[in-house]
Chain A
């Protein structure tokens, strides 16, 4: 529990760093930067490996926690008629399994809302606009002209000009596509618009590109914020508890581990919760 828990703490920091870009990346350029970051996170082999370690850690943390809870329940088949646990322990420390289960429920909805949509439901997911430059031979003059155009990648694998791009006739569009397909080899597969997905989920109507406005945005936001509160309580006990389990306890530094743990439990879920709040308010 301790090792996976602490590893998942580092995962939270990484995830938070990524999410914070949502707030700090403004405008089309910021959107592009965020989506490029998301693309990098989904395709870099090292990150991929790290993500598998994360999945395994989460699973182990769940299964181990579940088994320990069952064992611990068995250790006291008959409970007390009158018990006053608040006299000697914190609420969070006594309810780690409940808090963990609530986090698991959150995780399921979280994965369904973002991870699943981003990863699997590719067809419903318009791609991010990418400005590309390509070379075109001018047949009349024989000169090579450098041109730029805005394109996005379709699910079929073709670059298609964004609406509004001046296409004089079908032939020109076709040629642009052809040339763009040559460029595609260098460009990669394009970027999924995770940025717009997140903003649309939390009620933004500024995002065009076919994202329906989420009518349940406020409910989604409240659920998210409550889940972060739950995560905060889980970390409030979990962070320093992990060190104790690993045998790290010393009068000189244990008080600091506890303080850092409390700080972590407030700061990390707090910032996580702040991001959708900011997105929701600025809609």
Chain B
């Protein structure tokens, strides 16, 4: 397929630092290859800005193949852009038309404060993980082979699907309540379904939910937006499982 070039208008959130007042700035970018990814388009814009002796736009990125969870961006009103099941780095400019105006905003959440421009601080997720997203298995010396423990295929599959969460924060960004329940639900589920995770299941869910609340995320009202915008297709089932785990943990005291 032959490459096409499009000219686009961009409205991008610029904010000098966490305390500065930001605003949407307009940019015009010509000759954008439709084969380029959204992040490559931003690279091209930054080149243009640097040539113009202007400050480049800060945005998060790393692997650029949809697996690291580093890229973010709220593009034209949707987390990771108009496509479902993809991260921003997997979004291509062929999804846009010549002359389009594209809005690019950072994740908006009290728990994800802006560091600069489009970069937000997602360390709240790390702290939730630290509160219980682990198993205390001795990994030194004579470690037991994990495959020696029989696990039903269905459970293993579900745990794997939950573990596919890359922690990008799209669920929080898209949720009208800024809730992190899909992320925490996935992280709780990936252990709750496996025998290795059962040992600390009770403390895990209670501690992770407590940390989630402390970080200032909102509450889940089951709109289902997160499930649709999640680039990894994490299911709402994981939120229900977390609720279940939490209810049982709370009931047992």
Chain A: residues with CB nearer than 8 A to chain B?
A: 68, 71-72, 74-85, 87-90, 93-94, 96, 237, 240-241, 244-251
Given the complex of chains A and B, what is the CA–CA distance between A246 and B11 in angstroms?
Answer: 41
Asked if A249 and B77 make an inter-chain contact with CB atoms under 8 angstroms apart, the answer reads no
Given the complex of chains A and B, what is the CA–CA distance between A37 and B238 in angstroms?
Answer: 46
Tell me, rounded to whole Å, the shortest Cβ–Cβ distance linking B156 to chain A.
Answer: 16
Task: Known A72-B179, A88-B229; judge A80-B222 contact (CB<8 A).
Answer: no
Indicate which residue in B108, B216, B225 contacts A85 across the interface (CB closer than 8 Å): B225
Q: Is B176 an interface residue (CB 8 A)?
A: yes
Count A/B pairs, Cβ under 8 Å: 117
Chain B: residues with CB nearer than 8 A to chain A?
A: 11, 13, 24, 74, 76-78, 82, 103, 105, 108-111, 174, 176-179, 216-225, 228-229, 236-237, 239-247
Given the complex of chains A and B, what is the CA–CA distance between A71 and B243 in angstroms?
Answer: 19
Chain A residues contacting B179 (CB-CB under 8 Å) are 72, 75
10 sampled A-B residue pairs with Cβ under 8 A: A74-B218, A75-B110, A75-B111, A76-B109, A84-B77, A89-B225, A247-B243, A247-B247, A249-B237, A250-B237
Tell me, rounded to whole Å, the shortest Cβ–Cβ distance linking B208 to chain A.
Answer: 15
With most chain A CB atoms within 10 A of its CB, the pick from B110, B219, B228, B236 is B219
Given the complex of chains A and B, what is the CA–CA distance between A183 and B174 in angstroms?
Answer: 69
Asked if B176 and A89 make an inter-chain contact with CB atoms under 8 angstroms apart, the answer reads yes
Chain B residues contacting A241 (CB-CB under 8 Å) are 221-222
Tell me, rounded to whole Å, the shortest Cβ–Cβ distance linking B96 to chain A.
Answer: 14
Given the complex of chains A and B, what is the CA–CA distance between A71 and B110 in angstroms?
Answer: 11
Given the complex of chains A and B, what is the CA–CA distance between A113 and B76 in angstroms?
Answer: 48
Chain B residues contacting A72 (CB-CB under 8 Å) are 176-179, 218-219, 221
Tell me, rounded to whole Å, the shortest Cβ–Cβ distance linking A15 to chain B.
Answer: 25
Chain A residues contacting B74 (CB-CB under 8 Å) are 80, 82-83
